[in-house]
Amino acid sequence: MRSRFPAATPVLIVGAGPVGLTLSLLLSAHRVRHLLVEARPGTSLHPKARGVSARSMEIFRSLGLETDIRRAGLPASHVHFYRGRSLVDPDFVRSGPADGPAGGPAGGATGGPADGAERTPAPGLICSQDALEPVLLRRARELASDGVEFATRLIDFTEDGQGVRATLEDRADGQRRTVRADWLVGCDGAASTVRRGAGIAMEGPTGLGHYLSVRFEAPLGAVVADRASASYFLTEPGRGGFMAVDNDRHWIYQYPFDPVAGGVPEVLGDHRHLARLVREAAGLPDLDVTVRDTMTWRMDARLAGSYRRSRVLLAGDAAHVVPPTGGHGMNTGIGDADNLAWKLAAVVAGTAGPALLDSYQDERRPLARKVIDHSLDNSRARSGYRIDDELLLTAAYRSTAVVPDAVRDPRAGSTPRPPLDPGREHPDGAPGSRVPHLRPGGGNGAASTLDLLGRGFTLLTCAPAAAWQRQADLAGAAGLPVTVRALADDAHGRAAEWTGAFGLPATGAVLVRPDGHIAWRAPSPPADEAELLGVLRQILSAGPPA
């Protein structure tokens, strides 16, 4: 076992897929020491998940990774969806994300930069998991103070209410070492060792579909030049579809099979047979195909009964297994990491009580339930399904980390909003929702209200106000710092835009959490200058309102 492993760490993350890597990056941004371990010898070789949603891109933007991830992904001009009997069908149909493509397991894409450009500063894109993970890993290794270690397996762990004692094994030499952690986070996938060790059950259907995924190389760039797409859905029964990795030489073929009938496991190592399957599906009998590797996977729709058991937490596929019909599985996990990171940071720093972590499940589990249901509806659609890039932008949280709205907002009505509403296109500025995207004025150089936010709490106003600053100063003096940021240098000309987005007069303000969600809003500075401090204590489970 590597001698540089720490004997103790505040947070141990198990699983270095996109979710675990994102959590590592966010904890580093919050200056929380942590150790990240992964049983695999390296990052994913198979593309697996590919669609990176707008909300995920906003999170990566906050980490300074947006440019690198766009460079690793498909060009926006390729984010279309193809339907045809083969790749050379002269009667093919090609549609954009907003057109509602016919779906299947080759889906999972999101909209391009032109899709919903005014709803977000960071539109979604296609970036395969095998291309995304190295981008995240490079930065994580630069920042993680206690290390990022691959080929390191969690054997077991015990939890005593004060922390977790985990046994880790170096898969290269079999040596074992014990690490003590205050908190353990399982980001280790659908077969999670952490979830099993915590005794948390999963619920929901399994075996909704079975697929053989073949990663191969073939000179198809010229073949699809006039129909380049992210996903190629084949209308011939039983053919499945193709997923573009680079729309040139690198591809994935998804082949549906019946496990009862058998046959697929026997051909996994027969590359000649697999190459023939690819040629038949492509409609190109002479295509030069080189099979690189294969995997089989099963479509499930599962949700963990709990996201937390004492000092153990779950995120990503360890907490929810989402059908790929919609492309929101990985993105839901990335959102888990964004929600959990600041709460863990506050608890580790002592500015929040451990009860704050209960709000993680209260906020994220209902959202995962809605995403699973949405994806199941897509999977049952006969003619196709809609891939909605902005779906996760409208997530609305309800928990102890959100103060119920006292603002009379004529837009909200009297019916409580669901945690995820596919019909609502824009965040509405109410507590629990992600802060709306507006283009700030002034000379701060920010391209979005989201760019005004930091790693702490932000009090966002229409224009600077001394009364709001006094509220923030009092909170800061009590050890709960808040940064005041203004949409514009003055309210002139921006009041209507502010009111339309946040449901507040120009004198109002919203308190934005470190994850970009609104925790509280007020139409004007409260008469009690300690009110903001009381709100913060309530949100952080650090005591009753002042």
Confidence of residue 374 (pLDDT cuts 50, 70, 90): confident
Structure tokens given for 431: 């507590």
Which pTM value belongs to this model?
0.91
Q: What are phi and psi of 261, to 5 degrees?
A: -70, -25
Of the two residues 101 and 23, the one the predictor is more confident about is: 23
State pLDDT tens for residues 118-171. 789 999 999 999 999 999 999 999 998 789 999 999 999 999 989 999 999 999
**Residues forming beta bridges with residue 149, ordered by sequence position:** 37
- Scan for tokens 């004692």, then name that residue: 165
CB 430 within 8 A of CB 409: yes
Residue 380: per-residue pLDDT: 77
CA 324 to each of CA 12, 315, 403: distance values in angstroms, whole numbers, following the listed order: 28, 17, 34
State pLDDT tens for residues 388-418. 666 788 889 999 999 988 765 544 444 455 5
Q: What are phi and psi of 294, to 5 degrees?
A: -140, 160
- Across all residues in the chain, what is the average pLDDT? 88
Residue 98: per-residue pLDDT: 45
**CA distance linking residue 54 with residue 335, whole number of Å:** 11
Helix axes 54-62, 18-29, angle to 10 degrees: 40
Residue 110: per-residue pLDDT: 41
State pLDDT tens for residues 186-201. 999 999 999 999 999 9
- Scan for tokens 């949409």, then name that residue: 487
Residue 150: per-residue pLDDT: 96
**CA distance linking residue 494 with residue 498, whole number of Å:** 6
State pLDDT tens for residues 281-318. 999 999 999 999 898 888 999 999 999 999 999 999 99
Residue 303: per-residue pLDDT: 98
Structure tokens given for 458: 């932000």
Structure tokens given for 81: 């969806």
Confidence check: pLDDT of 224 > 70:
yes
CA 40 to each of CA 153, 187, 318, 361, 411: distance values in angstroms, whole numbers, following the listed order: 8, 13, 16, 28, 50
Structure tokens given for 346: 């506050």
**CA distance linking residue 17 with residue 317, whole number of Å:** 10
The half-sphere exposure of 234 on its side-chain side, counting CA atoms within 13 A, is 21
The structural domains of the chain, ordered by start, are 8-64+128-203+302-391 (3.50.50.60), 80-114+209-299 (3.30.9.10), 399-539 (3.40.30.120)
Confidence check: pLDDT of 535 > 50:
yes
CA 225 to each of CA 126, 228, 248, 277: distance values in angstroms, whole numbers, following the listed order: 18, 6, 9, 22
Residue 79: per-residue pLDDT: 82
Confidence check: pLDDT of 546 > 80:
no
Helix H segments across 112-260? 129-143, 193-198
Confidence check: pLDDT of 114 > 50:
no
Confidence of residue 360 (pLDDT cuts 50, 70, 90): very high
Residue 443: per-residue pLDDT: 62
E strand or H helix that includes residue 34: strand 34-37
